[in-house]
């Protein structure tokens, strides 16, 4: 029985000499280019804060573009929406937003969300704010301490 009918193995070139040092040189050049031309803003985004100086730098544009947010809501980790009057049930969110928009038409709504909350809740709030007549919606993210106490759940 013929197991290798075309005898392809005999037609191949012999393996090349050992060029392992070229791979090391290539890796070294790549590391050198990252060290020379790399930017720490591209490789690791974020704000660097040294232990010696914990003051954040400010920019004049940040103050010029600041807007007042007379209406704000908070969203905790479990997705509950809290306003200045207390807990807002999702079924009454549109009604509450309309009442707030009538007090200050065209204003900016500030949504303070827990980092563990779902973004689906933010989209519901933003849509309700748009329908109610708010000018725009700003979002702030914060992580609440774990020892905040038990969360209240009410039926819808």
pLDDT in tens, 83-117: 888 898 888 999 999 998 888 888 888 898 888 88
d(CA 71, CA 128): 14
Query: Out of 6-10, 22-26, 27-31, 78-82, which region has the weakest mean confidence (pLDDT)?
Result: 6-10
pLDDT of residue 38: 65
pLDDT of residue 33: 84
Judged against a pLDDT cut of 60, whether residue 73 lies above it is answered with: yes
pLDDT tens readout for residues 128-145 = 988 998 888 888 888 766
d(CA 111, CA 139): 5
pLDDT of residue 137: 87
Q: How confident is the model at residue 61 (pLDDT cuts 50, 70, 90)?
A: low
Cβ contact 55:47 at 8 Å = no
Neighbours of 141 (CB within 10 A): 13
Question: What is the b/e burial string over 82-105, where b = at least 16 CB atoms within 10 angstroms of the residue's CB?
Answer: ebeeeebeeeebeebbeebbeebe
Q: How confident is the model at residue 28 (pLDDT cuts 50, 70, 90)?
A: very high
Judged against a pLDDT cut of 50, whether residue 44 lies above it is answered with: no
Supply 141's token pair. Answer: 């993210």
Q: Residue 124: left (phi > 0), alpha (psi -120 to 50), or beta?
A: alpha
Cβ contact 122:92 at 8 Å = no
* CATH number among 3.30.420.270, 3.60.15.10, 3.40.190.10, 3.30.750.200, domain 67-142: 3.30.420.270
């Amino acid at each position: 029985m013929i197991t290798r009918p075309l005898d392809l193995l005999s037609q191949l070139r012999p393996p090349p000499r050992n060029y392992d040092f070229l791979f090391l040189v290539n890796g070294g050049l790549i590391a050198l280019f990252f060290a020379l031309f790399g930017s720490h803003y591209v490789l690791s985004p974020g704000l660097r804060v040294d232990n010696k100086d914990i003051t954040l730098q400010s920019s004049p544009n940040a103050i010029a573009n600041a807007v007042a947010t007379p209406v704000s809501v908070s969203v905790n980790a479990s997705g509950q929406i809290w306003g200045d009057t207390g807990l807002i049930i999702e079924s009454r969110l549109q009604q509450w937003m309309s009442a707030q928009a009538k007090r200050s038409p065209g204003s900016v709504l500030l949504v303070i969300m827990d980092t563990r909350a779902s973004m689906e809740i933010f989209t519901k709030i933003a849509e309700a704010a748009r329908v109610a007549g708010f000018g725009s919606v700003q979002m702030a993210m914060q992580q609440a301490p774990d020892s905040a106490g038990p969360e209240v759940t009410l039926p819808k």
